[in-house]
Amino acid sequence: MKKIAFIICCILTISLAACSNKQENTQSSKWDCFVNCAEQSTPDEYVITYSDEKLTSQTGTLTFHNGNEFEIIIHLLNSGEEERTETIPAGGSTCLKQLKKNKEYIVGIHANVTEDTPIKLTAYDGGKTDAEP
């Protein structure tokens, strides 16, 4: 009887360990893509400031959260693909889907703000609907 109890205890321990490993692997990657506006845009000049962060999606979906009190436009670039752009309202979020998995992307940000204004953008791997930093 003790052997059966020991075997059941071992099976439960292994099952719990496997479940906790799965939870760790499913956590989203997170990138803080904060920048300071490089230069104020004018009617003749559209300025994009690029983040130093390199984003790599394991899921094929990236979620972006605008942590500002103003609208921003993000530009997602990857060599060999067309540039993807998306407008995000103040405090809003958006998901870009159908991205290439395990490919490196860079993100540029445009906002109608003055030079050196901090621009807060957080990116997550996956379709995170509650994207809050």
Give the pLDDT of residue 121.
97
Which tens digits make up the pLDDT trace of 57-84?
999 999 999 999 999 999 999 988 889 9
Which tens digits make up the pLDDT trace of 83-131?
999 999 999 999 999 999 999 999 999 999 999 999 999 999 998 655 4
How far is residue 51's CA from residue 26's CA, in Å, rounded to a whole number? 25
**What are the structural domains of the chain?**
30-125 (2.60.120)
Whether pTM > 0.85 for this model: the answer is no
Mean of all residue pLDDT scores within the chain = 85
Give the pLDDT of residue 12.
60
